[in-house]
Amino acid sequence: MTADLLTEALSPELEARRAAHLYRSRRTLNGPQQPQTQVDGRDLLTFCSNDYLGLANDPRVIERFQQAASRYGAGSGASHLVSGHSAEHHGLEEELAAFTGRDRALLFSTGFMANLGTIQALVGKGDVVFQDRLNHASLLDGGLHSGARFKRYQHNDAGHLNRLLEKTSPAASVNHHNRRKLVVTDGVFSMDGDCAPMQPLIETCQQHNAWLMVDDAHGFGCLGDNGQGLGAGFSQNEIPILMGTLGKAIGTSGAFIAGSDALIETLIQFARPYIYTTAIPPAIAAATRTSLNIVQQEPERRQHLNTLIAQFRTGAQQLGLTLMDSPTAIQPILIGDDAETLSWSHKLENAGLLVTAIRPPTVPKGSARLRVTLSASHRAEQIDRLLAVLADIAQQRGVPEVVLP
């Protein structure tokens, strides 16, 4: 009876979502994360993984994972502050700090939790958080739940941020002598693939005594000469709060915040999603250490990825498709209309290719897109195959005229 009432209450929203072509469903993989894999029992060539360097299925990473599991077991058994903090976690934190050029790093179980926990530990009532309007959901949620006043600035617009900061300068709020200002941005925007304008953002923050937090989920491992990412190309003074994830280019799972000793101690004391959750398995931390080492030792992975990115962009532009201003492995093709985007995605799948259709509310209305992601584990022929299928679909359906709102 209760279950029936629940179903009755929930159904209208589900129906509405389906009718609006916004319904989401999951695919089941029958194999590892790699370009050619079995999805729902079918062999597909995939262009939607965040495993940008092809490390999720690297034999060396897997072997270290297995060895560490034999030694430490399958699970961590507790949160970091109770008894779940192993030598592998600790060693990984030290290596992440050294790699990013920060005093210290702190492991979180997921990137979502790192963002929620950090923002909530740093700002609260009486403070102000400024965010790029296209920031990742975890950053927006962290800001919204923190209790701080929440201001969004136009995408990648340091000038607009500057105007907002001017309006909230201390003179206008004499009663809040300790008011904190936190500016938060994605390093690489997850649905667009473009990069935040770091230098202007850093200068704007410094002018207004605001703290800058950069979420480098998609840059870490891929960008920079050694893969330190977009954020790590700048010092701890320039970007005092640096976040990176381990489930994307690094190929394992988890996330970290890197910065000063005081920042890390503050998070250990006050970041609730750090304190009240089980530590990732020690074997994952161990595997991540091997992965991090490969990221530094094998720059050819990044070089190959960059070659594929250039190949894809040249080919897609020749077809007249609308790409975004992205130098990264995230290469969305703008379609605009939700149903049309789904239709392209279905046609790609009929041809044996998996490319995700991204629709609102993940992206703004009218900007639905095919989110192509490339990986160092793709081969040039596989990019050619994607381009050939896109050419066929464009011929059947026409090249979408995208009018952005």
Ligand X SMILES: *Cc1c(COP(=O)(O)O)cnc(C)c1O
Residues that bind ligand X (CB under 6 A): 110-112, 115, 136, 138, 186, 190, 215, 217-218, 245, 247, 255
Minimum separation from the CB atom of position 297 to ligand X (A): 24
Nearer to ligand X, 246 or 316 (CB): 246
Minimum separation from the CB atom of position 104 to ligand X (A): 20
291 labelled as ligand-binding?
A: no
111 labelled as ligand-binding?
A: yes
Nearer to ligand X, 26 or 125 (CB): 26
Nearer to ligand X, 127 or 132 (CB): 132
288 labelled as ligand-binding?
A: no
190 labelled as ligand-binding?
A: yes
Nearer to ligand X, 46 or 115 (CB): 115
Q: Classify each residue of 208-233 as buried b or exposed e, where b means 16 or more C-beta atoms within 10 Å of its C-beta.
A: bebbbbbbbbbbbbbbbeebbbbbbb
Nearer to ligand X, 230 or 286 (CB): 230
Minimum separation from the CB atom of position 113 to ligand X (A): 7
Minimum separation from the CB atom of position 330 to ligand X (A): 9
Minimum separation from the CB atom of position 11 to ligand X (A): 30
Report which residue's Cβ sits closest to ligand X.
Answer: 111
Supply the residues annotated as catalytic: 190, 218, 248
In order of 128, 131, 386, the CA distances from 152 in angstroms are: 11, 5, 37
Q: Which residues are annotated as a binding site for substrate?
A: 24, 136, 362
Q: Which residues are annotated as a binding site for pyridoxal 5'-phosphate?
A: 111-112, 190, 218, 245
